[in-house]
Chains A and B, each alone.
Chain A
Amino acid sequence: MSSSGNHSLRAEPRRRASPLNRDRSWTKLVPALVVIVPLFTAALVLAVIQSLGYFPLIGLRSFNLDAYRSLFSNGEFWQSLLLSTRIAFLAALLSTVLGIAMALGIRRIWRGRGRSAFLFQLSLPIPHVIGALAMVHLLGQSGLIARLGQSIGLIDAPSEFPALVYDPFALGIVAEFVWKDAPFIAIVALGVLGSVTENYESVAASLGASSWQRLRHITLPLLVPAVAPISVIVFAFAFGSFEVPLLLGESFPRALPVLAYRLHTNVDLARRPEAMALAVIMSIVVMAAALVYLTLVRRVLRGERA
């Protein structure tokens, strides 16, 4: 590549490059963009187009908002939207709180973070399909926990065990996400809670901050920038996950991704534009949530005032 030959003796500057950097290193982004951008944008653009009624396959060639109108008047849509949002919110909240708590707790016991990071990453490679199936047999009414309950005399029959899967509160679904993601957040948090953070905490202590004050004013604010993007990803993933609600959810209301899929594979092809509309709406919701969340976090950090 001729570009690398050109700067043979010049050390690459690490400071802020000028906005119009003619350095041609932009070209290095091209392969990535070629792969991701067309495919991904195509998917979204196609979804938008088809949601607006342009569906030549079955002869629809006009642009209209019929699909959206039909969705919005569908009761299940709103319930599904609410359900998915609730699942995602709880998943993000609980895994963040739990993950940070685990990291802080482990820090007390262990000095080095190497070993704890290793343990926490055990759930990392397990696919969600397995996680969901595992939850069925752990939390289900005839699952392991229920059987333990029976063996210590708390219940007699499976039906006495609370419905944690296929339940209206989607507890099993949230549990699966928390099980998978809290350790990951713990790992990220441990990455921040190194010796540097400890030094700040020492200084705060010497200035008179109690352990609770140190947590609130020093430790947590230092954790937030690192953990926030991860919890956004957790939210987005939980919101858009197909397989987990498929395997652990009730049949009504279905989670939004499951609803979208069913509409898409519906025998009645006329429902396809609705599926597309749903895809578009899901994408918008997730992006909006991410933007709002990250902006809020940034503002909170900047406004940490007296």
Chain B
Amino acid sequence: MTTRVDLVDLTKHFGSAHPVEEFSLTIEPGRVTALLGPSGSGKTTLLKMIAGVLRPTSGDIQFDGESVLDLPAPERDAPMVFHNSLLFPHLTVEDNVGFGLRMRKTSPTERNRRVAEMLELVGLQDFGTRRPEQLSGGQQQRAALARALIIAPKLLLLDEPLANLDPGLRGEMRELVRTVQHSLGFTTLLVTHDQEDAIVIADHVALIRSGSLVQEGVARDFFERPASAWVAIFFGAGNLIPGERTNNEVATPLGRLRVIAESPASGTVLVTIRPEAVVLDAAEGQVNTFQARVIAAEFRGSHIRMQLKAGGLDLEATIPIDNAKSHAVGDTVRVTLPPERLWSLPAESSDP
């Protein structure tokens, strides 16, 4: 079922604490939207309000244009999957997965058929009669996912579902969630603090900070076109170069840098560039080129992470293994910052 969900100026106050402040977002039908933010940014509070566990202080939540504020949680059709699977310990896996259907008084035959289907979809077809404690963490999460999907929900809510899993397992689970969601097509809201979750699983990402929406768009936008210095840092753009911009040039300690016109901000700015975009030893005659000294060079498996110093600034560069010419600590190297990869931001404070 593809439901469109609108959050309109949602606010939640707990006394003097304001975890969510006038938050608005549209969750497009049939898509996975990730609500990404650091711990304490209010994302779980938002999730609970959408699920019906918490009442908003003000604002509205609409499913397909109709407000669901007065609908109690059991009637919203918005099941949640948590980071601890919360599979009912006294029921078998089958009974867990079929729970939602049993509450809807589905006939046992129909229920068993759909449970078997679901278990197969998540790869747990041989585990139906086991108890939750007999399953590994990853298997429990798969069962929890099946339990939520089986009722054909209007909205699937995932609250940091991969947080408790080993890193190796996480990749597998991301794929599973993505595949399952694509084949079944439910509107999904994924709440997470892990960027990779958001990038791999979601079609659309909304970045939340201190209860407010900071930026939304496809994952790439956050990397290439961050809305603020905070966003840039959150996504690992370690290079922030202060300067004064006039037209398409910025005067910085590294010299005059050319930036592209679409790049916003003027006046006092911070210019940011991703470590992967920094070019070393480019051909002669490029713009935005200067000399830098190598402070550190770490082998990281698939790439080399280099720390450079120029104009009193520290710069970070990530060079793929194949392109890396060997540079020792202390060497001087020619650095180029391609203008199309530079992005200028208003020079505000980046404190949380």
By a beta-carbon cutoff of 8 Å, the part of chain A in contact with chain B is 199-200, 202-210, 213, 217-218, 221-222, 301, 304-306
By a beta-carbon cutoff of 8 Å, the part of chain B in contact with chain A is 51-53, 72-80, 82, 86, 88-91, 95, 98-100, 102-104, 108, 111-112, 147-148, 151, 157
Q: Number of A-B pairs whose CB atoms are under 8 Å?
A: 71
Q: B95–A304 contact, CB under 8 A?
A: yes
Given contacts A205-B53, A210-B103, A217-B99, 17 further A-B contacts (CB under 8 A): A202-B73, A203-B79, A203-B86, A205-B52, A206-B52, A206-B79, A206-B157, A207-B74, A207-B99, A207-B103, A208-B75, A208-B100, A213-B103, A217-B102, A304-B91, A306-B102, A306-B108
Q: State in angstroms the CA–CA spacing of A202 and B88 once bound together.
A: 11
Partner of A205, one of B74, B89, B91, B148: B74
Partner of A306, one of B76, B88, B95, B100: B95
Question: For the complex, would chain A's binding face be called helix, strand, loop or mixed by DSSP majority?
Answer: helix
Return the 3 tightest CB-CB contacts between A and B, nearest first: A207-B100, A205-B73, A208-B103
Known: A213-B103, A305-B95, A306-B102. A206 touches B51 (CB 8 A): yes
* Minimum CB distance partner of A202 in chain B: B53
* Minimum CB distance partner of A199 in chain B: B86
* Minimum CB distance partner of A205 in chain B: B73
Q: A207–B151 contact, CB under 8 A?
A: yes
Q: B103–A202 contact, CB under 8 A?
A: no
Partner of B148, one of A200, A207, A218: A207
Q: A301–B90 contact, CB under 8 A?
A: yes
Q: State in angstroms the CA–CA spacing of A173 and B88 once bound together.
A: 39
Partner of A208, one of B77, B89, B108, B111: B77
What's the nearest-Cβ distance from chain A to residue B72, in Å?
Answer: 8
> Which residues of chain A are within 8 angstroms of B111 by Cβ–Cβ distance?
306
Q: State in angstroms the CA–CA spacing of A276 and B53 once bound together.
A: 60
What's the nearest-Cβ distance from chain A to residue B117, in Å?
Answer: 16
> Which residues of chain A are within 8 angstroms of B72 by Cβ–Cβ distance?
205
Q: B86–A206 contact, CB under 8 A?
A: no
Q: State in angstroms the CA–CA spacing of A210 and B95 once bound together.
A: 17
Q: B90–A304 contact, CB under 8 A?
A: yes
> Which residues of chain B are within 8 angstroms of A209 by Cβ–Cβ distance?
74, 99, 103
16 A-B pairs within 8 Å (CB atoms) are namely A199-B82, A205-B53, A205-B73, A205-B74, A206-B79, A206-B157, A207-B147, A208-B151, A210-B74, A217-B102, A218-B88, A304-B91, A304-B95, A306-B98, A306-B108, A306-B112
What's the nearest-Cβ distance from chain A to residue B153, in Å?
Answer: 9
What's the nearest-Cβ distance from chain B to residue A203, in Å?
Answer: 5
Q: A208–B52 contact, CB under 8 A?
A: no
What's the nearest-Cβ distance from chain A to residue B78, in Å?
Answer: 6
> Which residues of chain B are within 8 angstroms of A306 by Cβ–Cβ distance?
95, 98, 102, 108, 111-112
Q: State in angstroms the CA–CA spacing of A202 and B148 once bound together.
A: 13
Q: A206–B91 contact, CB under 8 A?
A: no
> Which residues of chain B are within 8 angstroms of A206 by Cβ–Cβ distance?
51-53, 73-74, 76, 78-80, 157
